[in-house]
Chains A and B, each alone.
Chain A
Amino acid sequence: PAETRDAAQARVRSLPAPVTDVARLCVCDLLVAQCDVNCCCDPDCSAEDFSLFTTCSVPVVIGDRRLCSQKAAVYSLDVEANPPERIFKLIDQVNPSIFCIHATNYKQALYLKSPEIPTPENFDQLLDKFGGATFSAEPDSWNLDTDVQNPPEANETSRYEYGVPVQTEDAFLRLPSPVVSSWCSDANPAGFLVNQATKCIRSVSVEKCDSIQALSMLFYINSSILASVFQVNITVQSIAVQSLNGMRTLLSRSEVLRLPMVLDELCINAVLGVNYHITHTDTGEIIEAAAAFVLGAISKEELSIEQSFEISFTQENTQPVPLSGNPGYVVGLPVRAGFQPQGYPFPAAFSACFTCSGPSSQTLSSMDIYEIHLSNKHSQLTILQSTSTQDCLAAQGARAPVLFGYNMISGCKLRITAAVKCQPLAQTLLDVLKGQSFPEYVASFGNSQAQDVLDWVPITQLHISEQMTSHTLQSSCQIPVSLGIEVKWTKYGSLVNPQARIVNVTATITTTTLKQLPSGRERIIPITSSVVFTDISSPAEPSYKAWPTINIKLPFDFFYPFV
């Protein structure tokens, strides 16, 4: 038993000896115990198999061709014979060149190197050499390069370059994100100037909620960011508390640190979302860092919560405005819209920017009385977003941004009973269709500045009423049932690089008469909203440059003495 195990280990330690006899080598013999087609050197093939071959895929098996004299196995098919048969010849191949290798005293010269078999003794050394993601054929030169690179890196924390992880005192600024699965991994560093938004799931338990680090605010702000010669502390910009039914309230005093604690079988002050805002100079130095938190409560039944993280970088003294194209709109980017400020009709005094106050991307309850400033950088045209419940009145204000070039349609169902009053219903439906703040102007180019009034296209509002029967009176109740936004755009600019430009936006509200229902009955009316993009570009007219004119004129005193 012990001897056989040693013997077995000794056998494993050495690889089988390589075959060097050309008569026994066959490169095309891939199938074991079966004849490979057109492989004349395959020992598994019989004479009948050879008679079916058309050609020999491997005509010569030879060692290194540069040797002066060596044995070669030559395989060929004799197609003249009937049936065709294979001819095998072992010949002495002579290399006539004067630089042929007569002899070598270096064993590995003409053969591939046998790899080292790992043994308990050399395993660590082999792991060092080959265990990484890459390894070099010359390990010595590899070490030399890393030594040279290391010293300059130590001084480079002052200036960050795009994509470089933001360094903090202990390691990197963490932006937990899902890796492989949806569970949060805390090892994802935030890259400089890389705006990211991630959502991941963290497993929690109410009993241990004050000991789970990732639920506490401290975890996200305790280490300070290393920047130039000093360290930048992460300040708390704002704290919003989210209740169990999804309503968020912004706290007025956000300096106080709120740590998670267990209260009445709930874990309160657990971090549900962090939004980092990093301010940097134009030379890449970080000067400010702030974090806006969303804290929430975790009930006993919940075993996991979804956390969302976002980081955005702003250059100091600038207001970042996301462009939807430069200059023409890019398909898939949101259509930019805005309002004109009050008191517009004095164009000479017009200098304020269009207020950027489209609905924010957070979900708002329709009863929400506080405004959320957390991500108020979008000014977009939005349409109703269909929800799973399909109930218009419980829609909760979910809106989807209108993306340029993407026709969208969405809707919900309205249940009408006899007790419903018409006028409030019409107003609610108008809110549902148009949203809290329906913009008045749409940018015609993707990079239109708010100061350029002429670059903005007004939204034309149309009302169409579906008259079901001719005797319906104007005074009877009309409720809006659909909103159709038609965006007409054209190609603008050069023929080879046309830019999309919005020319006309029309929002059409279609209303229908609400017939009074007999009591006890109810009706379901579908409400739809849609966005259609229409290309109204006129066919391009190529314009050519004028032929160059040859302009030869002699100077007036060219023939001086004679003229």
Chain B
Amino acid sequence: NNSSQLSSLPLQILLYVNGIYYIFYFLATLAMIIYKSQVFSYPDEFLAPDLAVLFLMAILEVPRLYLGFKGNLTEAEAPLGLSLGLTVGSVVLCVYLLLWQTYVLWADVLLNAVLLSAYGLESGLKVTAIAAFVS
């Protein structure tokens, strides 16, 4: 590692890939919810929370990724810390979609597992980056 540059390259790569993957994840999950509502019996009172969680996660993802990029590139720990906090929220929502959705299809399990592992790896790298910036 170049000691003059504190920004974490793996974190940057991961954040970039996460952004692209999240777009695919959002569209795929939305399509699958629409498919489930047509094929299975999906009453409105069960459909509404699932859609709400998905959209909330999308709304959270944008500032999370932006703050992550900004924090890592400007080597500032505050945005990165905020991003970490938002990641915790995203993880909770992802776990909901993985375990407590009305219908959990095998494709859901795969997508959410990949997203969770990305979040986990990101969190570890963010912590390391914050430690590097602070010290």
Residues of A that sit less than 8 Å from B by CB: 68, 97-106, 108-109
Question: How large, as a class, is the contact surface on chain B?
Answer: 10 to 19
Q: Is the beta-carbon distance between B100 and A105 smaller than 8 angstroms?
A: yes
CB B89 to nearest CB in A, in angstroms, measures 21
Chain B residues with CB under 8 A of A99:
32, 35, 105-107
Q: Is the beta-carbon distance between A101 and B41 smaller than 8 angstroms?
A: no
Chain B residues with CB under 8 A of A102:
104-106, 108-109
Chain A residues with CB under 8 A of B32:
99
Q: Is the beta-carbon distance between B107 and A101 smaller than 8 angstroms?
A: no
Specify the chain B residue showing the minimal Cβ separation from A64: B40
CB B100 to nearest CB in A, in angstroms, measures 6
CB B68 to nearest CB in A, in angstroms, measures 31
Interface hits, B95-117 → A, CB 8 Å: 99-110
Chain B residues with CB under 8 A of A103:
99, 103-104
Q: How far is the CA of A438 from the CA of B123 in the complex (A)?
A: 111
Chain A residues with CB under 8 A of B103:
101, 103-104, 106, 109
A-B contact pairs, 8 of them (CB 8 A): A99-B32, A100-B105, A101-B103, A102-B105, A105-B102, A106-B102, A106-B103, A109-B41
CB A229 to nearest CB in B, in angstroms, measures 48
Q: Known: A106-B46, A108-B41. Is A100-B102 also a contact (CB below 8 A)?
A: no
Q: Is the beta-carbon distance between A104 and B102 smaller than 8 angstroms?
A: yes
A-B contacts besides A99-B106, A102-B104, A105-B104, 5 pairs, CB < 8 Å: A98-B105, A98-B106, A98-B110, A101-B105, A109-B40
CB A472 to nearest CB in B, in angstroms, measures 96
Q: How far is the CA of A103 from the CA of B32 in the complex (A)?
A: 15
Q: How far is the CA of A434 from the CA of B71 in the complex (A)?
A: 117
CB B35 to nearest CB in A, in angstroms, measures 7
Chain B residues with CB under 8 A of A109:
40-41, 102-103
Interface hits, B75-106 → A, CB 8 Å: 99-106
Q: How far is the CA of A109 from the CA of B39 in the complex (A)?
A: 11
Q: How far is the CA of A493 from the CA of B105 in the complex (A)?
A: 70
Chain A residues with CB under 8 A of B102:
104-106, 109
- The 9 closest A-B CB pairs, nearest first, are A103-B104, A102-B104, A106-B102, A98-B107, A102-B106, A100-B106, A99-B105, A102-B109, A104-B103
Chain B residues with CB under 8 A of A101:
103-105
Specify the chain B residue showing the minimal Cβ separation from A69: B106
Chain B residues with CB under 8 A of A68:
106
Specify the chain B residue showing the minimal Cβ separation from A113: B41
Chain A residues with CB under 8 A of B99:
103
Chain A residues with CB under 8 A of B107:
98-99
Q: How far is the CA of A108 from the CA of B108 in the complex (A)?
A: 20
Q: How far is the CA of A102 from the CA of B105 in the complex (A)?
A: 5
Q: How far is the CA of A71 from the CA of B35 in the complex (A)?
A: 26
Interface centre among B35, B46, B100, B105 (most CB of A within 10 A): B105
Chain B residues with CB under 8 A of A106:
41, 46, 102-103
CB A101 to nearest CB in B, in angstroms, measures 6
Q: How far is the CA of A108 from the CA of B46 in the complex (A)?
A: 12
Chain B residues with CB under 8 A of A98:
105-107, 110
CB A19 to nearest CB in B, in angstroms, measures 21
